[in-house]
């Protein structure tokens, strides 16, 4: 038995012990929360899904970089039509976009940061003042230095998904622009 086979066997033994312990019902969860994964693709599917995405990630990795895979997967998930003929079903588009952004972010961060699970609160398709549709990514907390890269990637992926779904860019009103300028100046002076 080589080193990696030994690690895998010992890990499985420990998971068996954890499963038996959890069956006693002394914990809120009856199964170990962390699924075992052999590679990035399985880790991403275990963390955020959707089901079957690991196989597609592995196929794309044969010819693409990790970044290209993330964006391709995001596009495929975001434009998946759950109900043929319902192109403007915004609820389905929001669900697909939410799944797409989390999956792509998990690929880019190698499934080792909390951003795909906890950093994004929701994804929403909103109305611009001119009646066109735009895209909103809501974050669960303040953007901080430890999560800045993932937050920036989420915005970038969100914009890519927006384009793939055929939505317009966000069009701020003059009042929103003036408020932004005021807040930035206030932040700088304080």
For the chain, give the percent of residues with pLDDT over 70: 89
Query: What integer pLDDT is reported at residue 178 of this predicted model?
Result: 95
pTM of the model: 0.77
Q: What is the pLDDT of residues 121-176, one digit of tens each?
A: 889 999 999 999 999 998 887 655 566 677 788 889 999 999 999 999 999 999 99
pLDDT on residue 161: 95
pLDDT at 142: 60
Predicted confidence at residue 151, as pLDDT, reads 75
Q: Rounded to 10 degrees, what is the CA torsion of 44, 50, 51, 56?
A: -70
pLDDT by 10-residue block (mean), the chain, 190 residues? 88 91 86 78 84 93 94 94 65 93 89 71 93 90 64 88 94 94 91
Sign of CA dihedral 74, 109, 9, 34: negative
Q: Please state, rounded to an integer, the average pLDDT across all residues of the chain.
A: 86
Rounded (10°) angle between helices 66-78 and 90-108: 170
At residue 146, the pLDDT reads 60
Provide DSSP, 58-92: HHHHTTS-HHHHHHHHHHHHHT--SSTT-TT-HHH
């Amino acid at each position: 038995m080589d080193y990696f086979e030994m690690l895998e066997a010992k890990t499985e033994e420990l998971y068996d012990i954890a499963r038996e312990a959890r069956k006693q019902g002394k914990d809120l969860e009856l199964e170990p929360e962390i699924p075992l994964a052999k590679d990035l693709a399985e880790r991403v599917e275990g963390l955020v899904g959707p089901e079957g995405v690991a196989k597609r990630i592995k196929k794309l990795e044969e010819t693409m970089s990790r970044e290209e895979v993330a964006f391709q997967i995001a596009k495929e998930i975001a434009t998946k039509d759950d109900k043929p003929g319902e192109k403007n079903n915004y609820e389905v588009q929001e669900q697909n976009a939410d799944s797409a952004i989390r999956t792509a972010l998990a690929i880019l961060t190698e499934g080792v940061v909390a951003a795909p699970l906890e950093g994004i609160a929701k994804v929403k398709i909103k109305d611009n003042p001119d009646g066109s549709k735009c895209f909103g990514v809501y974050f669960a907390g303040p953007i901080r230095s430890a999560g800045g890269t993932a937050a920036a990637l989420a915005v970038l992926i969100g914009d890519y998904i927006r384009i793939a779904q055929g939505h317009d860019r966000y069009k701020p009103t003059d009042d929103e622009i003036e408020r932004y300028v005021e807040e930035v100046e206030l932040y700088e002076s304080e």
